[in-house]
Structure 1
Amino acid sequence: MLGVKYWFRGVVGALALSLLAACGDTSEAGREVEPSAEAPSGVSNIDGDIRARLEALPGVTILGDEQIDDFRFFTLDFEQPADHRNPAGEKFLQRMTLFHRSVAAPMVIDTEGAEIFAEPIAAEPVDLLKGNQVTVEHRFYGTSTPASRDWKLLDVWQSAADAHRVVEVFKTIYGARWLSTGVFRGGTAAILHRYYYPNDVEGTIPYAERHSLGLQDVRTPHFLANVGDATCRERLKAVQRAALERREALTPMVAAQAEWGFTFDTVGVDKAFEFSVVRLPFYFWQYMGLAPYDCDTIPEPTVSDEELFAFVDLVAGPAYIFSDQALHSVTEPESYQCATELGAPLFPEAELGSLLRYPGGQVPTLLPPEGVTKVYNPVPMLKVEVWMRWHARRVLIVDGALSPWSASAFGVSPWNDAYRIVDPAGIGFYGTLSALPEPQRTFFFQRLSEWADAPVHVPEVSQGKLSARYEKRLRRR
């Protein structure tokens, strides 16, 4: 699904250009050599001295090194200033991974919006270009946290400066063209990096970027009221009402999750349950199509208490969002970012009315970290909004058709060689270039090829289907 003005250039381009002559597989740009003493035992070493070259980079520590398929996979720590305005001050180690194919191949920097995805699954542009990838964990997530835990250092400029320094250092080895990408909050991080450092990369391909205006973005309820199938939406509402009406029977099932190590002292069991029920449609459509998220799995409101709770827990599990363990580790930095700069969606409550005990309570400023001043500053993201709409060049935003986040997507201009496309065959919030219908698919492959100055390799997976590799990655989001 693509608006006329967004794919008009694609139609013209596809007619004017022959189908990508470079789309077929080509020989590897690097050459294989005999394994060196540095290479993992029993494997071939592409660009034989790459480990030595990495070890010579300032601030780089190699934690892991293995050969996987046609690339060398490194796990790295990279020393960063906790405050880029004071580079001589506190330092922290930022976790990264590197997919190395050849120093002559394009490089894609994948900015994670949270803890790093440690498994070696390359981003789609990397697969299409047969390129390299450096993946960067977001500051304050995973192991990439300054010892001071000074929350003021978690802002959009500091994270963009992290990515900029990675590019500066690694470009001394990888001299071909660079692109950037990211999924979900990582897609937003890629846009922010490009905004603050527009010359670091030639092009940016964010997937399902998130962008909210305010602490409760009012565009979200309108989207959820119209997304997908009307019957499916009504069934979700019926489940929400039934769950709240049977609250006294279902909340003990939340409390019982203490046996799995979850506690709810921060928000309380009752509030955690209600908040999860309110969020249920948002999460359902976000992952719609990723098994078992399907309209046929929505239970009737008359099912047993156990079946009703099982569905709520599957889609919007209270323990995985509102337990103390989640709020004070997994989601704490996200809540701070939303409360101070990124904003958050408004989860619709109107139709649940009198069944709610805590209406309007899902505001990120009310969530941990506790005892920390959180003042929402809309200016940085408003500046990015204006820049994206009028000035951003060589950007390709990819969304899934059912994504609730698409209600607040950035606008772009195709006259700047910048596009936003919606994959009708995607998984909820996530689409792929490979699944696009023609002529858009060929046109955007051509744009990617030109930005990277490298051929695109047509994927073997069937058009319109999401690769199992990407499904595996999405399950970690």
Structure 2
Amino acid sequence: MLTNRIIIRLFFLYLTLIFSTWSSAQTHPASLTQNIDILSYLQAIPGMEAEELDNPPSGYQNILIRYSQPIDHDRPWLGTFKQRMVLLHRDKNAPMVLATNGYTISVSTYRYNLTQILNANQLKIEHRFFAESTPNPKDWQYLTIKQAAADHHRIVSAIRPFYTGKWVSRGSSKGGMTAIYHRRFYPDDVDGTVANVAPQSFGRLDPRYVTFQQQVGPASCRKVLKQYQRELLQRRDVMKAYIQRYGNETGMNFSLKGGLDQVLDMTVGELYFQFWQYGDIANCKDIPTTDATDADLFSFMKKWGPLYFLSDIGRETYEPYFYQAITQLGYPRLMTGHLTDLLQYDPNNYRPYVSKWPSQTFDYRAMWDIANFVVLKSANLMLFYGDIDPWTAGAFFLPNSAKRSTHTFWVKDGNHGTNILTVSEEDQQKAFAMLKQWTGVEPKVPSVMLRHSGQPEDEQALFNEDLIRRPL
């Protein structure tokens, strides 16, 4: 007679087999459905919902997708959540740009520059635990780089059989990090990867970023920026009043335990990093001096400081990122030594960004494993960095290898908006040659796309869903 324990084990084995069969069946639906349109193809995949939206770009179909994913790919019986995607379909024979966004996505028809250059299809994916793509209940232990890579693998396995063209993944900042993590665990899912300004931090409060901040840009600019930070803190009460007024005007609440004092300290502490992240050396002339009016001081802080991310809605929206940073991704140490005598709260303390500090210790193995893959095993990979972007302190080390088709491109005075269109003409030709090698398609910059060094591909789109500010 079977014991209860054996019965339970047999039951879970049965569920696993059922799920494996279901997953396998959905991976290759093309074998069952030939010569059908993309919408019908997607709707035939078990667990996938697809609806066509209005106003697609000319020559495209605009399709919103929600796909049922296991919360835990190793134990699929624990439940599922729906992962949101946007597909811009042009031609089944054209390349596909897989946009592995590291955050939420906007349901928009924006095409990344790589999509336009290759005249490609585009599949944009929301990261697990962000916005709609969040399990319920929200169990943070399943927010790992390996689980997210498995999400992307199941998506590629389900949709790629419809297409005959090559696939290239892309992402900027955390989106680029996500693309590299996907390649680490499933290197053959795509034919190449383009990662813009993707950092790799080795632990909580990685000190390499402080060294970079101490040397970035002209010394005169660094000096004025530090003086400006100190002036903000010396006018603490006035700046707190401005923050409160700003919150009232925008409908943002600031409920940090330390109140507006903590909001001010963390904003000022972050500001130096963010100035170089998104700014330009030409912006140095715009830094208010110590005799500037209160309004001018606050206006500059509002532009360059991360006030939104310290608001209640900002912290709720980006809590998943902070959880990942605290447990696996790591994060920079800010340069705050010149502010110590004026601070009441430590800007390097990440506790305010999460509702509960994770119980587990930092997983150092995760990023060293990724680093080992990029250095020794990666292929068909190109990276782009700007040399004034503080995140560049954590740039991946990628050997330039013709045999492996790997290359790191650098942009002088480039910031966190660095990409394939902001490099030199010579480097762009090299990058385009690599893309042609990967896809068989001749890259071409459409006449509507302008070369504008140092600017993101689309500022609002990337602010919302793509770039890693401080901290995003």
TM-score by length of 1: 0.84
2:295 aligned counterpart, secondary structure? helix
Deviation at 1:417, TM superposition (A): 2.0
Provide the residue aligned with 1:27 in structure 2. none
Q: Give yes or no for the alignment of 1:400 onto 2:386.
A: yes
2:49 aligned counterpart, secondary structure? strand
Report 1:148-187 matches (<5 A): 148-187=137-176
Alpha-carbon displacement from aligned partner over 1:324-355 (angstroms, at most 9, x marks no partner): 3322x112111111110001100001122311
Q: Is the 8 A contact 1:425 1:431 kept in 2?
A: no
Q: Which runs of 4+ in 1 moved over 4 A?
A: 462-469
TM-score by length of 2: 0.85
Distance (whole Å) between structure 2 residues aligned to residue 475 and residue 340 of structure 1: 24
Q: Give yes or no for the alignment of 1:92 onto 2:81.
A: yes
Provide the residue aligned with 1:286 in structure 2. 277
Deviation at 1:375, TM superposition (A): 2.4
Distance (whole Å) between structure 2 residues aligned to residue 301 and residue 443 of structure 1: 46
Deviation at 1:374, TM superposition (A): 4.3
Q: Give yes or no for the alignment of 1:429 onto 2:409.
A: no
The percent identity for this pair of structures is: 29
Provide the residue aligned with 1:440 in structure 2. 427
RMSD (Å) for aligned C-alpha atoms: 2.2
Report 1:124-143 matches (<5 A): 124-143=113-132
Report 1:32-431 matches (<5 A): 49-66=37-54, 67-259=56-248, 260-289=251-280, 294-318=283-307, 320-327=308-315, 329-359=316-346, 362-365=348-351, 367-370=353-356, 372-415=358-401, 416-424=404-412, 426=414, 428-431=415-418
Deviation at 1:467, TM superposition (A): 7.6
Q: Which moved more, 1:233-242 or 1:183-192?
A: 233-242
Provide the residue aligned with 2:31 in structure 1. none
Provide the residue aligned with 1:7 in structure 2. none
Distance (whole Å) between structure 2 residues aligned to residue 273 and residue 394 of structure 1: 44
Q: Is the 8 A contact 1:128 1:456 kept in 2?
A: yes
Question: What 5-or-longer segments of structure 1 have no aligned partner?
Answer: 1-46
Distance (whole Å) between structure 1 residues aligned to residue 385 and residue 63 of structure 2: 29
Distance (whole Å) between structure 1 residues aligned to residue 455 and residue 92 of structure 2: 27
Q: Is the 8 A contact 1:114 1:186 kept in 2?
A: yes
Q: Is the 8 A contact 2:270 2:306 kept in 1?
A: no
Deviation at 1:315, TM superposition (A): 0.9
Query: In the alignment, residue 102 of structure 2 is paired with which amino acid?
Result: G
1:433 aligned counterpart, secondary structure? coil
Provide the residue aligned with 1:24 in structure 2. none
Q: Is the 8 A contact 1:365 1:374 kept in 2?
A: no
Distance 1:98 1:453, change over 3 A: same
For residue 440 of structure 2, the aligned residue among 439, 449, 453 is 453
Q: Is the 8 A contact 1:425 1:435 kept in 2?
A: no
Query: In the alignment, residue 69 of structure 1 is paired with which amino acid?
Result: S
Alpha-carbon displacement from aligned partner over 1:70-121 (angstroms, at most 9, x marks no partner): 3222111111111111123311111100011100011121111101133222
Distance (whole Å) between structure 1 residues aligned to residue 456 and residue 200 of structure 2: 27
Q: Which moved more, 1:216-225 or 1:247-256?
A: 247-256
Q: Is the 8 A contact 1:116 1:136 kept in 2?
A: yes
Distance (whole Å) between structure 2 residues aligned to residue 197 and residue 363 of structure 1: 35
